[in-house]
Structure 1
Amino acid sequence: MEHRLDTKQQPIPEEATLEVDNIGGIDETAVSFQQGVTVLSGRNATNRTSLLQAIMAALGSNQVSLKADAAEGSATLEFGDETYRRTLERRNGTIVTDGEPYLEDPELADLFAFLLESNEARQAVARGDDLRELIMRPVDTAAIQSEIEQHEQRKRDLDDQLTQLDNLEGRLPDLEAKRKRVTDEIETLEAELEDAQATLDETNVDVEERREEQSELETKLNAVRDTRAEIERTRNRIETERASIEALEDERDDVQDRLGSLSTGDETEIGRLEAEIETLQTEKADLSEEISQLQSTIQFNEQLLEDPDSFLGDATKADDGPLTDQLLDDSETVTCWTCGSSVARDQIETTIDQLRTARQERLEERSEIGADLDERRETLSTINENRTEYQQTQRRLESIDDEIDRRTDRIEELTEEREELTEEIDALEAEIDDLETEEQSGVLEQHKEVNQLEFKLERKERERDEIEDEIAEIESRLDEREALEARREDVTDELTTLRTRIDQIEADAVDAFNEHMENLLETLRYENLDRIWIDRTTREVREGRRKVSRSSFDLKIVRSTDDGAAYEDTIDHLSESEREVTGLVFALAGYLVHDVYETVPFMLLDSLEAIDAERIAALVEYFESHVPYLVVALLEEDAQAVEGAHGVITDI
């Protein structure tokens, strides 16, 4: 798996200029970098690390220190057509930053681009920390999970719509059969009506003599037909209302079942959760502040070891330089910047190690509190969602009950209306009987038959029209299927991508580390060191009160004896040089997997003294192919081993 710079991204400026004021041990300086490798060459205590911190400050990192005797400082980076400026000010014993740096969020760069000695990726490898947690820290897994849940809901909605279409399609054969049956009945009624009308026309009646009576009979007969039609319409409305009530009662049963499964939540429990969340938030904020203070203290002491002159100022230049001599890297003591007494270097280094251990413990404690906080927020959110859904369901139940009552009242009104219409027909038929004569009786029966046939025909034609409307509606809905299926396929693909995103990042990180580690071990040729790689496994871990399965990155090391026998080793048994290289390769893997070069085109390297000059040169050459701007702080003898065209800065 080869990682190279993306040539399709925005062009990276060929030169960067940095102006520094009161950062680390620097009073004031200005330097320029060309794209590629820039070596900061010099002895110890020559402000090389301070210059790297100044670059970090201008890029946006908070892991920088203000000069001990200064109240404020700044770092300004001119990069292409843009200028980025960062200021530092001492207020009430703390450092406050302001300005507009290159990065809004420096987390990725702090982890995988600013590789000073205290860099967390390098230290994590050396200490045997959780490498998986560090690689995955910049990934917002909660946001990915939320996106997965949203896509799952969309997929369920689309599945429901497609199921509805399948059900509708299944109804088409019955509807078409029903339409054919009704059409046949209409044809039959039309034929019967035509025959009945012909018979009526052929009946031999003296129309002139019976015109007045016939007219009144026709009026009564028309009234009967209209009233019967009204009764039929009323009956249909009653049936419609009853069907609606039946559907509402079924829905009410479902809503009642749903209501029974929901809970409004215990107010006491809600209050407890809110109080616990507030307490945990306070604890997490306090820990974050403590971690920040520990990091500042660590950097301060590291700067004391690296560059004591920046703290003692002109005092080191007095008395022909004896005090300056004792501050060189090969001396056994360092002068305390507060009281002026001599302190053993190893004592300061021991203190730094203790501070790093304390910081790591606070980080782990903050992580556990964060998991507990997320769990309680999730529980409270679930309770609130249930309460909202309970209230909505309760309102729906009340609405259904109101609707059932309204439709029941309507049925009673329609039933009374139907009874009144029936009585009206009875009265009309009695009047018709009074008007009938023996001669007219046949004509009246024929009129009744024609009227009834016309009524039946009208009803059947209406039924046919309703069936055809329903078929047309279903066919129109079925036209949506192709688009719905395409959307469902897209959502399914997106779900697959989301579900594998975290797994893919982990796999890419492991592959990147293993590939680059193999390449560098082959180039650096450490004696008896055959292979270093990460083995990705799964194990159960606690998150808050729950146990979940999570990937684990296990660092594996294989050595061989003089006679060629291979055996497994641990990180503790690696030489300091081997550990440093392993930590740097792990940081490079994170840099490439998270495309950090697209966020910030700089990588800074420091504290490589544990690696011999020849291997440093090979390491720089390897990293150069993956980083636009590589700035490396080296001792003079190590800098001379770096070959090729590159910038060199000796005067800071």
Structure 2
Amino acid sequence: MGTSQHARERSLPEQATLSVNNIGGIDETEVSFEQGITILSGRNATNRTSLLQGIMAALGSDQASLKADSKEGQAVLEFGEETYQQTLHRRNGTIVTEGDPYLDDPEIADLFAFLLESNEARQAVARGDDLRDLIMRPVDTEAIKAEIQQLEQRKKQIDSQLDELDDLENQLPDLEAKRTRLIDEINELRDELETAEDELEAANTDVETRREERSELEEKFDELRETRSELERVRNRIETERESIEALEDEREDVEATLEELQAGGEADLGRLEAKIDTLQAEKDELNEEISQLQRTIQFNEQLLEDPGDFLGGGEGSNEEPVTDQLLPDSDSDTVTCWTCGSSVATDQIETTLEQLRSVYEERLDERSEINDELEKNRAMRNEIEENRSEHQQATRRLESIDDEIERRRDRIEDLTDDREAFTEEITELEAEIDDLETDDSEDILEQHREVNQLEFEIERKESKRDDVEDKITSIEERLDDREGLQERREKTTEELADLRTRIDQIEDSAVEAFNEHMESLLEILEYSNLDRIWIDQTTRDVREGRRKVTKSSFDLKIVRSTEEGAAYEDSISHLSESEREVTGLVFALAGYLVHDVYETVPFMLLDSLEAIDSERIATVVEYFESYAPYLTVALLDEDAQALEDEHDTVTNI
């Protein structure tokens, strides 16, 4: 997984220069870094951690602490042709930041790249927390769920269109059979018409004498035929309107059934949920601020224990040695001089306070996790109510539209019924007029005229029906031409849905795989006695989100040791040595670093507080991490740095 090589392919600058003022215990310093490993070597209280905080500040983190006797501090990073900076201000007892740092959002870097002692990923492993929530925190699951809902709605619409096309296609055989039947009937009628016309022509032996009489009769017959055609068209239109009303009434029953299944309203519930979500979000924001303040306080007290002199205003290079001698304890003393009031405080009291602060810090993290869970449940309930309400509104609008359409078609039937009655009366009058014109001599020929006219009328009616059927067939075939495009859209939508639905699972699987792979490799290299294996076991559990049950993943850390006789047994994180626990926390952070491609946005990885690991193993871990971070900066004690400093850049003067 040569991510460092990937970073170099993106042409990162070969060198970075950092300037720091009044951060941690640093008055002022400037340090340059080359790509690869940079070791910050020194004894305790030599501002190594403070320099790492300076890098974090310039990159955008708000986890850096301001020098205790300063109101303002700054970190500036010159990186290639670009310059990034962030300023820290002390206002009303809190630290605020401003500037133009490297990162707009430092969350993912704070989690997986800035691996100081208080790093949340390392602490989560040490406490035995469920690691799944932490590894998934940078993933916007709400956005993914919203996108899934949109795609599901789109797929539902496409499926509805495809079902409609299937129904239309199923109508084609009947329509084609009907067309064939009508064509056959038209052909038969034309044969009958031809015969009738031949008989009429043969009967017209005295054309001249009967011309005038026949002309008037033919005129009436033509008028009668046209009127009957109009009457038939009106009847067909009435039949069509009635069929449409029946279809609309069937659809109305379906819509009414849908409305009965859906619950209207939900405004009150939605209002309560919105208010609750706002309250929970406000509580989370307050917790985030409190957690940040606790972290800064813990870092400050750790720095105070590490180097009390940094908080007395002397600093390196100061000429006020007599004042420092008066305020600082002897080297063998167990007390520290308070920088605010000048009184001596026992170091064990500060350590006790630190333990209390860390305990409160962990409690606040747990509270934030609980609030996150509650937020997810309430947002899921809100989405369900909104979706239900939207479907209810759509169904209500469709029902209103159907009622309006049925009313319009009923009005049309009334108008057409009036037309039908008028044509029927007109036909009756025409038939009476024709009867008056008929005589015994002309009865036979007039009957033949009637037959011819009736056949012509029947042919015209059948041809009209045939044309209607052909129009329907053509319309269906044109609609069916859209099927291929719809199927392609459905396939693409289905693929997008599958990708979104599995994206969270893929990230979880990748995180577990990365951790297990690197943990196995490092354990093999580090050779911890009787520690056979450490891995994450991914399990699932059912939880409720609103009214629904959902399955959630859980990351359980598993440890297997072996006895001197070679028998394997399962152990817990609490029984790991401090060295083993630190390595495990670092590997988990590395897994998050790789899974979220942090190296693509954050060129620096920072390591600190590795004293619990022996020197040789520190060297092994650091060189292992080098493969994955373009710039790897490590704070080490002098004795631990000796195993590395001959081969890598080393900074001793900060």
| TM norm structure 2 | 0.93
1:338 to 317, 320, 340: 340
Deviations 1:609-649 (A, max 9, x none): 12222111111111111111000111122212105642211
For 2:133, the aligned partner's letter is E
1:117 matched to 2:121: no
CA contact (8 A) 1:108 1:138 kept: yes
Aligned equivalent of 1:453, options 448, 452, 455: 455
Contact 2:4 2:630 in 1 (8 A): no
Paired letter, 2:436: D
Deviations 1:281-336 (CA, angstroms, capped at 9, x unpaired): 333333233222222212221222233232111299534965687487x8633322
- Please state how far the C-alpha of 1:238 moved relative to its aligned partner: 1.0
- 2-structure distance, mates of 1:501, 1:490: 16
Q: Secondary structure at the match of 2:143?
A: helix
Q: Which secondary structure state, in structure 2, belongs to the residue aligned with residue 537 of structure 1?
A: strand
Q: Does 1:232 align with 2:232?
A: yes
Separation in 2, partners of 1:386, 1:643: 64
Shift of 1:37: 0.6
User: What is the Cα-based RMSD across aligned positions, in Å?
Assistant: 2.6
> Which residue in 2 is equivalent to 1:648?
650
Map 1:107-506; keep pairs closer than 5 Å: 107-265=107-265, 268-314=268-314, 318-319=321-322, 322=325, 326=329, 332-506=334-508
Q: 1:520 aligns with which of 507, 519, 522?
A: 522
2: CA distance, partners of 1:432 / 1:627: 105
Distance 2:271 2:567 in 1: 64
Q: Find out whether 1:96 has 2:96 as its counterpart.
A: yes
Amino acid of the structure 2 residue aligned with 1:482 = E
Instruction: Indicate if the aligned counterparts of 1:5 and 1:597 stay in contact, CA closer than 8 A.
Output: no
Deviates more, 1:292-301 or 1:266-275: 266-275
Contact 1:371 1:543 in 2 (8 A): no
Conserved 8 A contact 1:37-1:629:
yes
Partner of 2:84: 84
Contact 1:58 1:77 in 2 (8 A): yes
Q: Does the CA-based 8 Å contact 2:3-2:599 persist in structure 1?
A: no
Change (3 A) 1:323 1:505: farther
- CA displacement at 1:178 relative to structure 2: 1.7
Q: Is the 8 A contact 1:113 1:604 kept in 2?
A: yes
Distance 1:229 1:538 in 2: 74
User: What letter matches 2:249 in structure 1?
Assistant: E
Supply the AA of the counterpart residue of 2:241: E
Measure how far apart 1:234 and its partner are: 1.0
Does residue 579 in structure 1 map to residue 581 in structure 2?
yes
Q: Give the letter for the 1:359 counterpart.
A: Y
For 1:266 and 1:402, the matched residues in 2 are separated by 27
Structure 1 stretch displaced more, 316-325 or 389-398: 316-325
Write the distance in 1 (CA, Å) between the matches of 2:295 and 2:306: 16
Partner of 2:61: 61
CA contact (8 A) 2:115 2:608 kept: yes
- CA spacing shift, 1:375–1:506, aligned 2, 3 Å: closer
Residue in 2 that maps onto 1:33: 33
Query: Are the aligned partners of 1:241 and 1:407 in contact in 2 as well (CA < 8 Å)?
Result: yes
Secondary structure of 2:77's aligned partner: strand
- Mapped to 2, the partners of 1:389 and 1:11 lie a distance apart of 52
Report if the CA contact (8 A) 1:368-1:543 is conserved.
no
SS of alignment partner, residue 6 of structure 2: coil
Looking at structure 2, the residues matched to 521 and 234 of structure 1 have their Cα atoms a distance apart, in angstroms, of 90
Aligned equivalents of 1:543 and 1:163: distance in 2? Answer: 33
Residues of 2 paired with 1:4 and 1:73: CA distance? 32
| TM-fit CA distance, 1:431 | 1.1
Comparing 467-476 and 20-29, the one that deviates more: 467-476
Give the 3-state SS of the residue equivalent to 2:336 in structure 1. strand
Instruction: Give the counterpart letter for 2:609 in structure 1.
Output: S
Distance (whole Å) between structure 1 residues aligned to residue 326 and residue 38 of structure 2? 32
Q: Give the deviation of 1:389 after TM superposition.
A: 4.1
Structure 2 contact 309–328 (Cα < 8 Å) conserved:
no
Residues 571-580 or 158-167, more deviating: 158-167
Query: How do 1:532-611 and structure 2 match up within 5 A?
Result: 532-540=534-542, 548-611=550-613
CA apart distance, 1:594: 1.2
Separation of aligned partners in 2, 1:449 and 1:545:
74
Following superposition, the deviation at residue 117 of structure 1 comes to 0.6
Letter in 2 for 1:81: E
Aligned counterparts of 2:9 and 2:188: Cα–Cα separation in 1: 78
Residues 334, 343 of structure 1: 8 Å contact kept: yes
Q: Give the SS at the match of 2:38.
A: strand
The letter for the 2-side match of 1:497 is: D
SS in 1 for 2:63: coil
Amino acid in structure 1 at the alignment position of 2:563:
T
Distance 2:321 2:360 in 1: 38
| Helix, strand or coil at the partner of 2:84 | strand
- Residue identity opposite 1:527 in structure 2: S
Q: Distance in 2 between matches of 1:29 and 1:230?
A: 101
Equivalenced residue count is: 651
Whether the 8 Å contact between 1:308 and 1:327 is mirrored in structure 2 is no
Contact 2:232 2:461 in 1 (8 A): no
Question: Distance in 1 between the 2:412 and 2:573 partners?
Answer: 84
Q: Which moved more, 1:545-554 or 1:236-245?
A: 545-554
SS of 1:534 mapped into structure 2 = strand
Contact 2:2-2:627 at 8 Å conserved across structures: no
**Which one-letter code corresponds to 2:604 in the other structure?**
F
| Residues 265-274 or 150-159, more deviating | 265-274
Unaligned runs of 5+ in 2: none
SS of equivalent residue, structure 1 residue 17: strand
Q: Which moved more, 1:588-597 or 1:338-347?
A: 338-347
Distance 2:644 2:48 in 1: 17
Contact 1:335 1:342 in 2 (8 A): yes
In 2, the alpha carbon distance for the partners of 1:512 and 1:132 equals 13
Identity of aligned residues (%): 69
User: Structure 1 residues 159 and 392, CA, compared in 2 at 3 Å: closer, same or farther?
Assistant: closer
Residue identity matched to 1:236: N
The 1-side partners of 2:229 and 2:25 are apart by 103
Q: Which amino acid aligns with 2:298?
A: I
TM-score computed with the length of structure 1 as normaliser:
0.93
AA partner of residue 539 (structure 1): R
CA contact (8 A) 1:326 1:334 kept: yes
Indicate if the aligned counterparts of 1:371 and 1:544 stay in contact, CA closer than 8 A: no
1:247-268 deviation digits (Å, cap 9, x = unpaired): 2222222222223333333665
Question: Would the aligned equivalents of 1:372 and 1:544 in 2 still touch at CA under 8 Å?
Answer: no
| Contact 1:372–1:545 (8 Å) recurs in 2 | no
Q: Which residue type is aligned with residue 337 of structure 1?
A: W
Return closer, same or farther for 1:230/1:544 CA change in 2, 3 Å cut-off.
closer
Q: Match of 2:293, as an amino acid?
A: Q
